């Protein structure tokens, strides 16, 4: 007999069919999830897919904050998966925030901009969540945000503040984190603990180039703990939830 709890958490689709199955229906709604992995693992693609499919399939507007890339690069990369971000921006369903130009010290023509600073980012996000009606937010990446602060203690405080405020808002947030190696999820010692969920993306830089994904933690729901292979295809991230990972 299947027991359905009346207290079961509402879910949001991840935009990735195989991952929705691993999670038993998607991310817990309005929570803050950490997406961690090394450079090139597919983190930005994952985040963009979460937003794009959220808008197209679920009518849930979104916000993407880019600290690691120019927005023009992000739009071009997204187009390679067939995701036309500009049209969604024009329809006010997607707000793209340029956090890169300020960081690089170059001029920007983008509509929404932020400095590499948690308080300023939070103020902007709170107003955009209201004006766009955003239900999904992606911050790419918190590593950039943290590295802008000199003091380790202050870094932790800022990350904690960011996650505490995002968790208190009525949107589901993905915080992207760049790992230096596969074992180090929390570069600053706190990310893993303060997020309500952690998903790691791995990339074997050896001959096979195998990509894999694991749900390390997802508070409040039961989920698969098994590391599964995935691929980046012309349609974005595809997770093979019932395939065994051969390394």
Ligand X SMILES: Nc1ncnc2c1ncn2[C@@H]1O[C@H](COP(=O)(O)OP(=O)(O)O)[C@@H](O)[C@H]1O
Binding site for ligand X (CB under 6 A): 37, 39-45, 80-81, 232-234
Q: Which stretch binds Mg ion (CB under 5 A): 2-10, 40-48, 103-111, 199-207?
A: 40-48
Helix (H, G, I), strand (E, B) or coil at 202: strand
Say if residues 209 and 218 touch (Cβ distance below 8 Å): no
Q: Which does 45 bind (CB under 5 to 8 A by kind): ligand X, Mg ion, none?
A: ligand X
Would you give the distance in Å from CA 73 to the centre of its chain? 17
Q: Which does 241 bind (CB under 5 to 8 A by kind): Mg ion, ligand X, none?
A: none
Q: Which does 234 bind (CB under 5 to 8 A by kind): ligand X, Mg ion, none?
A: ligand X
Query: Whose Cβ is closer to Mg ion: residue 19's or residue 30's?
Result: 19
Using the rule CB under 5 A, is 45 a contact of Mg ion? no
Nearest distance in Å: CB 67, Mg ion: 10
Nearest distance in Å: CB 176, Mg ion: 7
Query: Whose Cβ is closer to ligand X: residue 42's or residue 229's?
Result: 42
Using the rule CB under 5 A, is 44 a contact of Mg ion? yes
Closest CA to 211 of 182, 185, 234: 182
Nearest distance in Å: CB 176, ligand X: 7
Q: In whole angstroms, give the CA distance from residue 49 to residue 216.
A: 20
Q: In whole angstroms, give the CA distance from residue 78 to residue 72.
A: 10
Encoding tokens for residue 8?
């079961």
Query: Whose Cβ is closer to Mg ion: residue 141's or residue 241's?
Result: 141
Q: Which does 81 bind (CB under 5 to 8 A by kind): ligand X, Mg ion, none?
A: ligand X
Q: Which residue has the tokens 């359905």?
A: 4
Say if residues 136 and 54 touch (Cβ distance below 8 Å): yes
Query: Whose Cβ is closer to Mg ion: residue 199's or residue 223's?
Result: 199
Nearest distance in Å: CB 71, Mg ion: 13
Q: Which does 80 bind (CB under 5 to 8 A by kind): ligand X, Mg ion, none?
A: ligand X
The arrangement of strands across the sheet holding 136-140 comes to 112-113, 94-98, 62-66, 136-140, 172-178, 32-37, 197-203, 211-218, 228-233, 236-239
Query: Whose Cβ is closer to ligand X: residue 30's or residue 177's?
Result: 177
Burial of 244 per CB tally in 10 Å (0-12, 13-18, 19+): exposed
Query: Whose Cβ is closer to Mg ion: residue 30's or residue 178's?
Result: 178
Helix (H, G, I), strand (E, B) or coil at 228: strand
Q: Which does 39 bind (CB under 5 to 8 A by kind): Mg ion, ligand X, none?
A: ligand X
Helix (H, G, I), strand (E, B) or coil at 230: strand
Please give the DSSP secondary-structure letter assigned to residue 245: -
- The residues that touch Mg ion, with contacts defined as CB under 5 A, are 44
């Amino acid at each position: 007999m299947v027991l359905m709890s009346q207290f079961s958490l509402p879910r949001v689709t991840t935009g990735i069919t195989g991952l929705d199955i691993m999670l038993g229906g998607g991310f817990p709604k309005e929570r803050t999830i950490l997406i961690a992995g090394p450079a090139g693992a597919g983190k930005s693609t994952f985040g963009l897919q979460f937003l794009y499919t959220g808008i197209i399939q679920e009518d849930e507007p979104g916000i993407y904050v880019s600290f690691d890339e120019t927005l023009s690069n992000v739009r071009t990369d997204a187009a390679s998966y067939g995701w036309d971000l500009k049209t969604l921006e024009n329809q006010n369903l997607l707000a793209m925030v340029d956090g890169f130009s300020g960081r690089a010290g170059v001029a920007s023509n983008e509509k929404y901009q932020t400095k590499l600073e948690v308080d300023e980012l939070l103020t902007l996000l709170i107003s955009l969540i209201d004006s766009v009606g955003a239900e999904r937010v992606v911050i790419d990446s918190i590593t950039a945000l943290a590295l802008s602060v000199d003091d380790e203690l202050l870094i932790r405080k800022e990350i904690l503040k960011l996650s505490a405020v995002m968790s208190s808002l009525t949107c589901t947030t993905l915080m992207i984190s760049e790992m230096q190696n596969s074992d180090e999820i929390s570069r600053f010692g706190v990310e893993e603990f303060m997020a309500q969920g952690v998903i790691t993306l791995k990339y074997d830089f050896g001959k096979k180039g195998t990509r894999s994904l694991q749900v390390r933690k997802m508070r409040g729901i039961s989920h698969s703990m098994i590391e599964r292979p995935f691929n980046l295809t012309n349609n974005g991230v595809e997770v093979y939830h019932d395939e065994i990972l051969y390394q």
